[in-house]
Chains A and B, each alone.
Chain A
């Protein structure tokens, strides 16, 4: 079935530094990928929709200059958290839409990245 690889699975960084998270679709092409953020005891909140070869679409309230998204190929999307601060500490999860539809309903999730900013 469709597999999405996300790494790193966890990262600790110093305040003010930038962190890049990668999301790869391993056995299918994903023209659209989604980036979610989940704070403790809260649900997943969509941050942005990443489209291959074009600019990402950000949800209201998400700073596009802080959360840089690049989707340069059909199998790779990256999220860079720039100038990270402790309040950016969260669980970041990507999801890819399987355009061929091999998944049960087309959405496959990465295993998530736990970011801690100290």
Chain B
């Protein structure tokens, strides 16, 4: 079983739609959680950290459910510029490394 699993998609949605991504992780001792976005042939860039209390950054909302080992990302009022691959990322407890999910490809259509 992969440490971090995501639906690979691709997701194709119209501009203005709301999109939800899900992610599960296998190591219950994981301590830090993030969503990254990666554009084609570019390095990944941090979108937001994910906290147990849930957190919001503009049109983006992230949630963490430690009991279910589940992470989500919601994008509201999607823009064409949101088209990218979204990566769920976890840090194991006591380790500095980042463990990446396979990513979910999102395309926003005009």
A residues lining the B interface (CB < 8 Å): 32, 34, 36, 42-46, 49, 91, 93, 95, 97, 104-105, 107, 109-112, 114
CA of A107 to CA of B96, assembled, Å: 9
Residues from chain B with a CB closer than 8 A to the CB of A107 are: 46, 98
Tell me how far the C-beta of A102 lies from the nearest C-beta in chain B, rounded to whole angstroms.
13
Structural contact, A43 and B41, CB atoms closer than 8 A: no
Give chain B interface residues in 84-104, CB to chain A under 8 Å. Answer: 87, 96-103
Structural contact, B42 and A34, CB atoms closer than 8 A: no
Structural contact, A32 and B96, CB atoms closer than 8 A: yes
B49 interface residue per 8 A CB criterion: yes
B residues lining the A interface (CB < 8 Å): 32, 34, 41-46, 49, 87, 96-103
Residues from chain B with a CB closer than 8 A to the CB of A34 are: 96-98
From B32, B41, B96, B100, A44 is in contact (CB under 8 Å) with B100
In the A-B complex, the 5 residue pairs with the smallest Cβ-Cβ separation, listed nearest first, are A109-B43, A43-B102, A43-B100, A44-B100, A112-B43
**In the complex, what residue of chain B is closest to A110 when comparing beta carbons?**
B43
CA of A95 to CA of B87, assembled, Å: 16
Tell me how far the C-beta of A86 lies from the nearest C-beta in chain B, rounded to whole angstroms.
19
From A95, A105, A110, A111, B34 is in contact (CB under 8 Å) with A105
Number of A-B contacts (CB under 8 A): 44
Pick from A42, A43, A97, A111 the residue with the most CB of B within 10 Å: A43
**In the complex, what residue of chain B is closest to A31 when comparing beta carbons?**
B96
Structural contact, B34 and A46, CB atoms closer than 8 A: no
**In the complex, what residue of chain A is closest to B45 when comparing beta carbons?**
A109
Q: A46 with B102: in contact, given A109-B45, A112-B42 (CB under 8 Å)?
A: no
Structural contact, B46 and A91, CB atoms closer than 8 A: no
CA of A105 to CA of B87, assembled, Å: 16
A-B contact pairs, 18 of them (CB 8 A): A43-B100, A43-B102, A44-B87, A44-B98, A46-B98, A46-B99, A49-B96, A91-B41, A93-B43, A97-B96, A105-B34, A107-B98, A109-B43, A111-B42, A112-B41, A112-B42, A112-B43, A114-B41
Pick from B34, B42, B43 the residue with the most CB of A within 10 Å: B43
Residues from chain A with a CB closer than 8 A to the CB of B44 are: 44, 93, 109
